[in-house]
Amino acid sequence: MLIRGRMRVLLTGLAATVLLSAPAEAGSVARAEIHYAPEENLELVDARVIGGAELSIDMAAYVLSDRRIIEALTEAAERDVAVRLYFDKSQFSQHGLRFGEPIEALLAHPNVAAKVKGEGVLMHLKAYAVDGRILRTGSGNFSRPGLAEQDNDLVLISDPTAVDAFERAFEGIWSRARNIDALDTPEQGAPQ
């Protein structure tokens, strides 16, 4: 996508903030924060953003194994935030539903709905929208190595057009006929 107008980058600590103003929307400013790991712990950024949710979180997670992110999502659900989680099948079978782990409580919470991509190529997104107003995307998986140890980025975008585009894409993947309810998958480590 070509953006015409002015762009200003503000470097603050380890993160960059990009302010975009497009002539088509006179006076409007879209904001993007870019964070980089391992210099910055992206887990703290995600926990802060998720912690600010008031209405909804729609998350597409190739991997969701980071304990702090799982706890932040659970706390959001406890605040009556509607949480929808969409997972990759191969990664969910390795890191997903675990007996006695925080992910089990998250997925069982009544304010949480979770689906797994049923077939096809990877569901490789690492993104979520909070309250229809902020989009998180980037290369960092929601795992401890992905958020704190590996070379990854995390981008927060407050542009309504970008957030709406993600929400439309999320609705499309969420509505696939061959999706599997996450609670219908085999639980790892369950007592026999």
Distances from the Cα of 107 to the Cαs of 23, 34, 73, 149, in angstroms? 44, 29, 10, 26
Residue 189: which region, alpha, beta or left (left: phi > 0; alpha: psi -120 to 50)?
A: left
Which residues, listed in sequence order, are joined to residue 136 by a DSSP beta bridge? 128, 156
Would you say residue 17 lies in a domain? yes
Would you say residue 190 lies in a domain? no
**What is the model's pLDDT at position 23?**
39
Task: Determine if the pTM surpasses 0.85.
Answer: no
Would you say residue 32 lies in a domain? yes
- Segments in the chain below pLDDT 50: 1-8, 11-14, 20-24, 26, 190-192
**What is the model's pLDDT at position 54?**
98
List, for residues 136-156, the tens digit of each pLDDT value: 999 999 999 999 999 999 999
Q: By residue range, what is the domain housing residue 64?
A: 6-184
CATH of the domain at 28: 3.30.870.10
Would you say residue 1 lies in a domain? no
List, for residues 73-107, the tens digit of each pLDDT value: 999 999 999 999 999 988 887 766 666 678 888 99
**What is the model's pLDDT at position 4?**
44
Would you say residue 166 lies in a domain? yes
Tally of domains in the chain: 1
- The residue count of the chain comes to 192
